[in-house]
Structure 1
């Protein structure tokens, strides 16, 4: 399936007039920007019987707020389109090779949040270097890749077999959608376009877009719809009732099990990632030995002893 993606830069483009099987349209960026022509172009795309992709451009703002913002804006079309996260390193304040674990976790949290609240399966957009040089195993196990990699800057029309370099896509076996040029040339448009090839059948596109399970959705999404809070992630320490002092170990409950942290940097990175991805501080409890709530909690989750984090 052949398609192009557009933003406000192509505000005068009518998707019904420019040939394609699908059109990708930028909807939002960060927690405040809305593409002023996105909905007009969505309606033109759908009225022409074309498939639709809607994407959000990530920034350093709270990722949960970004996902909520995107869904609130795009909600009337969220189950008629493949949804995508545009992950570009320059916009998150770090250039390769300085993408951190926190940035990759943020991207996956956005995808998880959107996936849980729509019928389809979103994809993540990135360039080939970002896909290959960093560990995206967790993300790739759940979500498809929209990969950008260009053979040249020469103008081109649609290609059925575009150049794909060394065919290495990091944690992914292959891209779901492949963007092979930013200098595309198509009828009825004088400017350059990003051209894409989707390795999807009609049925596969519909499934990823969630069209089969489409329902009216007027929900207003808020940051209180927070999976991390629902999973009860928190840390705690045990206070000796006789001395009033901590026993020294910090325990981390990750939503599934309790882990005894073995280094202060482990606590630091857990807190940093939680803050970066939710905009909130990780909850910390102090439980005394004369009121052993930590014992009762371990009983409640059916765990006999904490796991020990390796050093």
Structure 2
């Protein structure tokens, strides 16, 4: 079977694309982020007749608490799709640990009766080997990274696992492509809980309290940082986001829209200029500090002069990275990264390569 995995930088329509068999959706990260498109992507994939799954991106905090948070957010979907742990180096404080993943999946199993599959890059399988007796292996390795559904020859070791359950074989064109070496019956067997506990159907008091107490401060943050946090779900949604961002809401929301859609840049800069003229971002050094990397462009619009491109930041590609994954970590549209670095289809990147963004 072939399928894709999606996060907030893919659309609901992509989650329900034709010609594939399954869609695995990012649901949560750490203990504060929920993919704002998760429900829409889930529904779209379901309407398309796809088998479905949900994954949690490890932040490396307390594994039991991260597992509780994951289940609290997707409890209504338990038993309806496979569950997965995304074990990557980026934004993961526990990267390198050989016990974190096992503690996470055991917590999930104790609450739901389900053993999650483990997503990991080919070079880091040893870190999650302790999960092999219980969990399926979802390995990431790109022999060609072509923007194609032609599956190349598998040339990776599987460590403690005898076989691979799912292989993410390419992220070419900004879309993660996977092939599953199981059928729909096996998929549903992995997804279905054998002994669901009350904890899976009810949010624990501890999680409720943690979510209730979660707060966000705009103090000493640049617009870029606030926009990135907004894309990551850290500023809430709807009225909560408006209240959280306060006077910065209009500008930050515009910037967040640009980070998710490269075509929104001109509109975002115009709105930031308007908000700046209103005095939202202060004057002088205060304005420069808050606008950060966008200061020159915004000021140029206000002054009616030629726009000056902001200084480029760089990211060093790690083994297993994809353009879409890097974009998600940085809060930048993957297409923007590709454009700035002259990367074209099949969008191949290499470990050690420095990308401007």
What interval of TM-score do these two structures reach, taking the shorter chain for normalisation?
0.5 to 0.7
> Structure 2 vs 1, CA of residues 137 and 198 (structure 1 numbering), >3 Å: closer, same or farther?
same
Aligned mates of 1:58, 1:177 — CA distance in 2: 19
2:118 to 120, 124, 129: 124
1:220 to 203, 207, 221: 203
CA contact (8 A) 2:17 2:45 kept: no
> Structure 2 vs 1, CA of residues 215 and 198 (structure 1 numbering), >3 Å: closer, same or farther?
farther
CA contact (8 A) 1:136 1:170 kept: no
CA contact (8 A) 1:120 1:207 kept: no
Show the counterpart of 2:137.
145
For 1:1-311, what aligned pairs fall within 5 Å after superposition?
1-93=1-93, 99=96, 103-131=97-125, 134=126, 136-159=128-151, 162-165=152-155, 167-183=156-172, 192-210=174-192, 218-221=201-204
Instruction: Compute the displacement of 1:215 (Å).
Output: 9.8
CA contact (8 A) 1:78 1:118 kept: yes
Instruction: Compute the displacement of 1:56 (Å).
Output: 0.4
Larger Rg: 1
CA contact (8 A) 2:112 2:195 kept: no
Instruction: Compute the displacement of 1:82 (Å).
Output: 0.6
Q: CA RMSD in A?
A: 2.4
Instruction: Compute the displacement of 1:88 (Å).
Output: 0.3
> Structure 2 vs 1, CA of residues 136 and 93 (structure 1 numbering), >3 Å: closer, same or farther?
closer
Counting matched residue pairs gives 206
Aligned mates of 2:40, 2:111 — CA distance in 1: 24
Unaligned stretches of 5+ residues in structure 2: 208-357
TM-score by length of 2: 0.53
Instruction: Compute the displacement of 1:144 (Å).
Output: 1.0
Aligned mates of 2:16, 2:158 — CA distance in 1: 33
Question: Which has the larger share of helix?
Answer: 2
Unaligned stretches of 5+ residues in structure 1: 185-191, 225-311
Aligned mates of 2:197, 2:92 — CA distance in 1: 34
Aligned mates of 2:20, 2:143 — CA distance in 1: 21
Matched residue of 2:44: which SS?
Answer: helix
Show the counterpart of 1:245.
none
